[in-house]
Structure 1
Amino acid sequence: MKKIKYLVLIIVLLSTQLVCGQMVPPPPPGLSVDGGVIFLLASALIYGVAKLRN
């Protein structure tokens, strides 16, 4: 059982190194913020109002 835990730990650590090693190109200048931020703010506002009413 102890060997399985060490094996899983090694696999997880190696896979994160593989994922972090990939380069992501920077966004072009002047790129607008997408609608995801607006949706997040709207849902936070609705959640806050619902919590205040209870």
Structure 2
Amino acid sequence: MKKRNYILLFLVVTVVFMGHSQIVPPPVPPPPPPGIPIDSGSIFLLIAGLFYGVKKIKRKF
């Protein structure tokens, strides 16, 4: 009886480890996208905001 339990335990553990070892790892994710480039629209918006700020500051003085 004890020998039968050991054989059954060995078979169950073997089947579980064999099934677990055959899992395919997930694929490697793609690299993150590069940084966002500054396009001409953003530069003009920044320059317009700078001029607007200078104009507001000059009006106060």
TM-score, normalising length: structure 1: 0.46
TM value normalised by structure 2: 0.41
